[in-house]
Structure 1
Amino acid sequence: MSDVPVARPRIVCLCGSLRFSREFASERTRLTLDLAIVLAPEATEAPVLDPVLVRALGELHLRRIDLADEVRIVNPGGYIGEATRREIAYANALGKPVTYFHEPSPS
């Protein structure tokens, strides 16, 4: 057990395209050093072709959002894909704060 007291850490769920693996790793490190618990999807080595598994993995990620205090969108260049839009809408419906790696441009 550590002698360093840590209050209940905030839980941050990272969302975004897994093609931005470097940015995900950077945010995970930054948030961890800020003493946050970081939840994020894991990239798989093989492409996931089974549509049932793809849907199940999407639902699993929504459960991460359920656990989070904050949702952080990893969106280099402002890119936000369809799945990430769904996750943002879900977080908003739950009243979770949503922050961005790059602020989206006003539409």
Structure 2
Amino acid sequence: MPQPISAPARPTIVVLCGSTARWDKLAEANLYETAAGRVVLAPGCNLKEPHPLWADQQQADRLKQLLDTLHLRKIDMADEVLVVNPDGYIGASTAREIDYARSIGKPIRYTERP
């Protein structure tokens, strides 16, 4: 009689926080976390690169507010936070995200010591 197939354990969900000015480092962290078997939630837009969605300053301002709130919801969904902080850099937005994650008890890791 065939053995029942057990469902795999739910993978850890990690959210990446860090400056989009270092988009390359965020992408690298995403790669490593995914290869480690984690589900990765990450910034989806890099407002520092030109794009028609945020070419107009008013559009960019509205989108920035939306993305900031959306990222907090990603933190809510995640099991843990990975702060991507090359050279120890943590900007104001990332610092707010870290404070929020701490306030709701999320474990936090860093790519480099803060």
Asked if Structure 1 and Structure 2 have the same fold, meaning a TM-score greater than 0.5 normalized by the shorter chain, the answer is: yes
Larger Rg: 2
Between 9-18 and 40-49, report the one with greater CA deviation: 40-49
Count of residue pairs the alignment pairs up: 102
Between 18-27 and 77-86, report the one with greater CA deviation: 18-27
Q: Which residue, 12, 25, 28 being the options, matches 1:26?
A: 28
The answer for unaligned runs of 5 or more in structure 2 is none
Task: Give yes or no for the alignment of 1:80 onto 2:82.
Answer: no
**In percent, how many aligned pairs have the same letter?**
44
Report the TM-score when normalising by structure 2.
Answer: 0.81
Task: Write the deviation string for residues 43-90 of structure 1: whole angstroms up to 9, x where unpaired.
Answer: 344284332321111000100000000000001000000000000000
Report the TM-score when normalising by structure 1.
Answer: 0.86
- RMSD (Å), alpha carbons: 1.9
Higher helix proportion (structure 1 or 2): 2
